[in-house]
Structure 1
Amino acid sequence: MSISRRKIYEEIADLIMKDVKEGILNPGDKLPSIAKMADQYQVSSASIREALNTLSVMDVIEVKHGQGSYIKARMPLGFEHAFEIITRKDIENLLELRRIIEVGCVELACSQAEEVDFEKMQDALDKMRTAVMNNELGEQADYEFHMAIAKSTGNQMLIDLLGNVSEKMIETMKETRRIWLYEEKKSIQKIFDDHQAIHEAIMHRDVAEARSAMLGHLEEVASVLLTRHGG
């Protein structure tokens, strides 16, 4: 089978996912070697590695070093309806709430945050950096970073508001990363860099820069998610 369209690794990943959904590949099955798959699809070994890397990050396969790649025993949440975990309206409402609350939070954080708050933000960033190095999505660390900012304001109502939508926040963060990696072909590193810029602006007590960095980040997230959900 020959693959010739633009994003070759996506095409291969799609075909593997399709085989899993149709029961051609089953949980625990070992995939052919990279060399055999490259020959099967008539593409380079690099394209096969990129496709496998994407599926690994999406939690569809497990790569066992020295042994090969295996289909996961359990598919990730939402696998049967890829990228349709929550509705478009849910996403719109959540992003609107996040813009209103989180832009305000960074403004307050610039004046209210103390050293212990900066340390908590840095801890979350360190976890995100580790996720990047380990080729993981890092959505939990992402959420912890945003909550650390909210907590630094000292306003319990703001903290509670974000806490009440924590499940949807984490799921959209995960979905953003999957789309970013799988469809947009952008690096998870870019998301880390955006968060680091927010952190640095807060540490410098630069309200305008912190507001701009947070707003820019949320607008980019909105663009990625809403484009994928028919917007």
Structure 2
Amino acid sequence: MRRQEPPSVPAKSRPRPPARPRLYEQLVERLVEHMREAGLGVGDRLPPERELASALEVSRASVSQALVALEVQGVIEVRHGDGAIIRQTVSEQGVLALLRDRANRRAEIIEARQALEVKLAELAAERRTPEDLASIDAALELMRQEVENGDRGVTGDERFHAAITAAARSRLLARMMNELAPMIRETRLESLSQPDRPQASLDGHERIGAAIHAGDPKAAADAMRDHLVLVSRVVAPVAP
């Protein structure tokens, strides 16, 4: 009697292979593992990027991306000229879970920023005072100096957006921005850590500032919208 063959599984219901992990996710896991194995704690410094890249046999750009991921989560603090300082210790499983959750919500954070900050730029162009313009210019000058010194310009960037929020004179929008501040910092760090991004971001800020100086609400809103599109472009290396 002929044995009956089991029915074939329809192609559409076949299990798919797991997605290949991003390279920087693998590196994040290895870096956290290194902290634990080396007995590093809060206040200790990680080895320089070049040394980490050599030990892990990857590019410095990949190591830099992994360090940004840890910085966004508050695990380390990257100081220009001083390296990466550990701020808290975490487990490999915990840091990867946070990393993937953040990647999933990145688009939502950008959407929220677009809804709030485009309107804030428009209002700032209508309501700014000489003092507001001075604060905006001071933030731009600080970011310009940071970028010229080879830094990412995070502090100047943060002060620039805060100055626009103040110039808009909307207590409700300001309160909403304050609630989102930790998540906005995530997108700021990720964006400014992209190759050549600090200068591009500074250029975008200068266009926003010029429109606010000119008292042109539409130009200010358009310039802010373009800037946030740039912020949303974050590319992470993937495993080969």
Describe the superposition over 1:61-88 as per-residue Cα deviations: whole angstroms up to 9, x where unpaired: 87879xxx8x745579999549657242
Normalised TM-score (structure 2) = 0.62
The Cα shift of 1:195 comes to: 0.7
Normalised TM-score (structure 1) = 0.64
* 1:126 corresponds to 2:136: no
Structure of larger gyration radius: 2
The Cα shift of 1:95 comes to: 1.7
Contact 1:198 1:210 in 2 (8 A): yes
- Of 205, 227, 239, the residue aligned with 1:217 is 227
- Of 160, 179, 199, the residue aligned with 1:189 is 199
Question: How many Å separate the matches in 2 of 1:29 and 1:153?
Answer: 41
Name the amino acid aligned to 1:88.
N
Distance 1:64 1:119, change over 3 A: closer
Q: After alignment, is 162-171 or 80-89 more displaced?
A: 80-89
- Of 88, 98, 102, the residue aligned with 2:104 is 88
Contact 2:121 2:217 in 1 (8 A): yes
> Structure 2: which 5+ runs fail to align?
1-22
* 1:158 corresponds to 2:173: yes
Q: After alignment, is 21-30 or 162-171 more displaced?
A: 21-30
Question: How many Å separate the matches in 2 of 1:26 and 1:94?
Answer: 35
Higher relative contact order (CA 8 A, sep 6+): 2
Contact 1:128 1:192 in 2 (8 A): yes
Matches within 5 A, 1:41-60: none
For 1:127, what is the secondary structure of its paired residue? helix
Provide the residue aligned with 1:205 in structure 2: 215
> Structure 1: which 5+ runs fail to align?
1-10, 42-46
For 1:224, what is the secondary structure of its paired residue? coil
Distance 1:16 1:98, change over 3 A: closer
The Cα shift of 1:215 comes to: 0.6
Contact 1:128 1:138 in 2 (8 A): yes
The alignment yields a C-alpha RMSD, in angstroms, of: 4.4
Describe the superposition over 1:82-130 as per-residue Cα deviations: whole angstroms up to 9, x where unpaired: 96572423x2332222212211111121121011001111122122123
